[in-house]
Structure 1
Amino acid sequence: MESCAPECEFIYKPKELVVDSDLEDVSVVIGNIRPTAAAAAPALQWIQLNTAGADEYVAARRAADHWQICCARGAYSIAVSEHMIGMLFDMIRHFGEYHRKQAEHIWEANTHIVSIEGSTVLVLGLGDIGSSFAHKIKGLGAATVIGVRRSCGPKPDCVDEVCTTDELDSVLGRADFVAMVLPGGEETRGIMDERRLRMMKKGSYLVNVGRGNAVDSAALKKVLSEGHLAGVGLDVTDPEPLPADDPLWDMENVFITPHVAGQFYLDETFERIVRIAGRNLRHWTSGEPLENVVGLY
């Protein structure tokens, strides 16, 4: 990292130990310090986050906009999209049930399965991670991949149709699988409410790896208990951590992982974050525009 900006002085400190006085003369922060600390840093020009999401930092920047936010877009696509594929296969092939039966030494089949081949898949959130998932699911034989994004834009090659979130209701009922990779914010909070969950095709599957509050948790439990959805895979929940007494834990058609789709568990994720930060340091010292700048959405 230091080789990317040899003229700069680097200070290393665990983020939990950073106090406001540490930031008085700091121009750049690499890492996810407290958003309020970043907003209060008088000399801060930009912060490089190690996350793809930046919700709390966007809110903090609205109060003090002298600094820019750069996210780690592009770092998590491999890990998260593969996690999504794994969740789907776990549900449609009953792997969790077979693990339980193996532990009890029971040789017994679950006879009904479905296939990704020939299916319709709706990807809600067509950013870096969503596009990576769309590419993988198309490669597995999905007949139609529908991408949903906030605004119109170019259609990726791996996507057959693109629409905006305003058009979500018109395509939701077509999907055999709905994959959610949405960012945070008021625009996406509760976007999958009871009405939309019921609009999903009966017997379809839902995977959410974006933001837990994008799905109305109470409505989800109600719809699941009525058997409308065949399965739901959640790497994010509302709230987090999910309370031990939450009914979602015990629902047979729910697969929960504790917000681990991203993180640094895959070495390549960490390496990509370092490369993104290094490139931005070189851009900054050369007076060039930064990459992955987050707007005040």
Structure 2
Amino acid sequence: MNILVLIPASKKHKAELEGAAPDAEFAYSSIEAATDKQVASADVIVGNLPAARLHTASHLQLIQLNSAGYDKYAAPGALPADAVLCCATGAYGQAVSEHLFAEILAVMKKLPGYRDLQHSHQWDDLGEVATPAGANVLVLGAGDIGTHLAALFSAVGSHVTGVRRHAVTAQAPFERMATMDDLPALLPHADIVASVLPSTPATRGIADAGFFAAMKPGAYFGNAGRGDLVDQPALISALESGHLAGAAIDVCTPEPLSAGNALWDAPNLLLTPHISGFYHLPATLDNIVRIAAHNIRALQGTGDFRSRVEL
């Protein structure tokens, strides 16, 4: 079995991967440097090789993505017949949740404003701030990332409601679990709405003018899921009018954001360039390698695949 690894693997990571298939031939490269010959001979690819290059992977049995998203790889004909597609759901919970929690808290405490004052050498008081303690928090997307995020808010005394596609019984750290159909009734009572939803036909554009108008005056909005969830002009309008007290987003459309986009100058908005995930937190790469090693074993008949995408 030939295994092509396209993620940055340390000595520790290589030992873990090779331990999952001692008899396999491993090749380590980068996405940019991987040759057509390597791709054509690979039985397993670990990493997000562009889907357009997979047409040459005639031996492919498993592709293990390093991302939680998988849209382009799940398209009809993207993979060879019978190839297994696994994503990295479960690897990003800590990294993305900590980033979004920190962003929202920073906006509530007006820290970006104080940073601006520091740069202009001004010693001013920006006034009253908000707290997540006792706040009603709505987390859109109650999977791995959403559960990590709920735990962070719960730890500081927030009351957290999770929102999923399908109804389930609430378990800690969620006090309540609801469905997307419940959003109109939930939005007016939420002090913080934080989304980690993926991009799907059902979620694209869901945070529109009506969504923001339904939110509680003075509430906060955060998004670390996908940028196409949000109608950005509607978000800007809600911030400019003062209906929203602030927003924190790590994703937007397009990416990268053009220099002239109005989102840059929206008031009380903290924007980061889609960096909450990837490998910025070393534990994330460790998690991806762990998932990949598990699925390499599963390909050999040892257990079930983890984070498998049903095609």
TM > 0.5: yes
User: What does the per-residue CA deviation read over 1:43-88, in whole Å, with 9 as the maximum and x for residues that have no partner?
Assistant: 2122111111112212255775522211112211111111111111
Counterpart position of 2:205: 190
- Residues 163 and 118 of structure 1: CA distance in aligned 2, closer, same or farther (over 3 Å): same
What is the correspondence of 1:141-160 to structure 2 with a 5 Å cutoff? 141-142=157-158, 144-160=159-175
Query: Quick one: distance in 1 between partners of 2:77 and 2:143?
Result: 22
- Count of residues in correspondence between the two structures: 295
Counterpart position of 1:162: 177
Does the aligned pair in 1 maintain the 2:100–2:249 contact within 8 Å? no
2:51 is equivalent to residue 35 of structure 1: yes
Letter in 1 for 2:281: L
Secondary structure at 1:24's aligned position in 2?
helix
Gaps of 5+ in 1: none
Counterpart position of 2:24: 8
Query: Quick one: distance in 2 between partners of 1:295 and 1:152?
Result: 21
Letter in 1 for 2:188: G
Letter in 1 for 2:61: Q
Query: Quick one: distance in 2 between partners of 1:207 and 1:102?
Result: 25
Find 1:81's aligned residue among 97, 120, 125: 97
Secondary structure at 1:10's aligned position in 2?
strand
2:236 is equivalent to residue 221 of structure 1: yes
What is the correspondence of 1:258-273 to structure 2 with a 5 Å cutoff? 258-273=273-288
Query: Quick one: distance in 1 between partners of 2:140 and 2:146?
Result: 7
Aligned CA RMSD, in angstroms, stands at 1.8
Does the aligned pair in 2 maintain the 1:131–1:156 contact within 8 Å? no
Does the aligned pair in 2 maintain the 1:79–1:269 contact within 8 Å? yes
Does the aligned pair in 1 maintain the 2:51–2:78 contact within 8 Å? no
Find 1:45's aligned residue among 48, 61, 64: 61
TM (normalized to structure 2)?
0.89
Query: Quick one: distance in 1 between partners of 2:38 and 2:76?
Result: 18
Using the TM superposition, give the Cα deviation of residue 260 of structure 1 relative to its aligned residue in structure 2, in angstroms: 0.6
Find 2:113's aligned residue among 70, 74, 97: 97
2:138 is equivalent to residue 122 of structure 1: yes
Gaps of 5+ in 2: 1-16
- Residues 224 and 40 of structure 1: CA distance in aligned 2, closer, same or farther (over 3 Å): farther
Secondary structure at 2:201's aligned position in 1?
coil
- Residues 149 and 65 of structure 1: CA distance in aligned 2, closer, same or farther (over 3 Å): farther
Counterpart position of 1:107: 123
Query: Quick one: distance in 2 between partners of 1:261 and 1:212?
Result: 13
- Residues 41 and 101 of structure 1: CA distance in aligned 2, closer, same or farther (over 3 Å): same
- Residues 64 and 280 of structure 1: CA distance in aligned 2, closer, same or farther (over 3 Å): closer
